[in-house]
Structure 1
Amino acid sequence: MASFLSAIEPYLPQHEGLLPKWLLFVSTVSVLNSVQAYLTLTYTARVYSEDPSLNGSNKKSDEPPHRASGHPTSTATPLSSRLFGTWTVIQSIVRMYAAYYISNPQIYQLAFLTYAVAFAHFVSEWFVFGTVKWGAPLAGPVIISTSSLVWMWLQWGYYVQ
């Protein structure tokens, strides 16, 4: 394990503090999430698990044929899953740049805004559009975006001079 860590250490962000490493970690996980969004609809359908047009009913006869298997009330489609994957990988790229260039105010601000957009998206899908419900699939993105926003807000003066 020690040799693995020493082997990857030169590739990790060299700034002090944990925030750059957090940004890199979230970015890496998000890239993997993007890959799965292209390969399968299953996980995207878990997040977007509610169809507001069904108004609480579970009428399977009215379901379009593209519904995700195992998620009969999901509005997720293969196209929406791939779009979500594309959106996620773009945000991942910005966050990865921020991990390595965290003292650059413009890059820091862009990374901060990626979390603000993610937070706004998931909360609006929950409260406004009703396509998601509270649970583990939604809790992850909301907790990560919220905690990252607060952390970055509090650490602005430490990283950006």
Structure 2
Amino acid sequence: MSRFLNVLRSWLVMTSVITVGHSLQSFRDHTFLYEKIYTSKPDLVNGLQSLTFGVWMLLSSVVRGLCAIDIHNKMLYYITLWTFFIGMGHFLFEMFVFGTVAPTIFMLAILTVASISILGMLVGLRHLEAEPGSRQKKRN
């Protein structure tokens, strides 16, 4: 396996662990969402939204962790890449269309991690395709 894919696997584990942390914070107390993320319109944040956000983050974390374990599974790889696109798209829409998210340091960090992840995973696709004898899942 190429060195880049090993670094990417470590990156995915790191993002998975961070995402679990955000998920647990959302389950524990919904004030996390309006204090750190939806700071422009905190009155719109409620407990149900916090639980939904927490479930989404937990699902993203599981997908990213599984991709780190089996990075050669192309379907899982693409699903993982989409978790970053969807997350980034959500926050950009919230910031520029709905106005519920302010460009705070916390939000800029989230968008930076998503951008680096998307870029890294797109570059990783080249490395996966270039690997000699890369494991391909056979369909019956």
TM-score after normalising by structure 1: 0.73
Q: Which residue number in structure 2 is paired with residue 39 of structure 1?
A: 28
Q: Which residue number in structure 1 is paired with residue 82 of structure 2?
A: 113
How many residues align structurally? 126
Q: Which residue number in structure 2 is paired with residue 76 of structure 1?
A: 45
Q: Does the alignment pair 1:17 with 2:13?
A: no
Please state whether the residue corresponding to 2:76 is helix, strand or coil: helix
Conserved 8 A contact 1:49-1:131: yes
Deviation larger for 102-111 or 137-146:
137-146
Cα 1:16–1:156 change in 2 (3 A) is closer
Q: CA deviation at 1:157?
A: 1.9
What does the per-residue CA deviation read over 1:77-97, in whole Å, with 9 as the maximum and x for residues that have no partner?
A: 111111100010011111011
Conserved 8 A contact 2:95-2:103: yes
Q: Which residue number in structure 2 is paired with residue 126 of structure 1?
A: 95
Q: Which residue number in structure 1 is paired with residue 127 of structure 2?
A: 158
**Segments of 4+ moved more than 3 angstroms:** none
Q: Which has the higher helix share?
A: 2
Conserved 8 A contact 1:115-1:149: yes
What does the per-residue CA deviation read over 1:37-57, in whole Å, with 9 as the maximum and x for residues that have no partner?
A: 011122211210112xxxxxx
Structure of greater Rg: 1
Please state whether the residue corresponding to 1:44 is helix, strand or coil: helix
Q: CA deviation at 1:159?
A: 2.9
TM-score after normalising by structure 2: 0.84
Name stretches of at least 5 consecutive residues in structure 1 with no aligned partner.
Answer: 1-14, 52-72
AA paired with 1:122? F
Q: Which residue number in structure 1 is paired with residue 17 of structure 2?
A: 28
AA paired with 2:58? V
Q: Percentage identity across aligned positions?
A: 26
Cα 1:107–1:22 change in 2 (3 A) is same
CA distance in 1, matches of 2:109, 2:44: 20
C-alpha RMSD of the superposition: 1.5
What does the per-residue CA deviation read over 1:83-115, in whole Å, with 9 as the maximum and x for residues that have no partner?
A: 100010011111011001111111110000000
Conserved 8 A contact 1:50-1:75: no
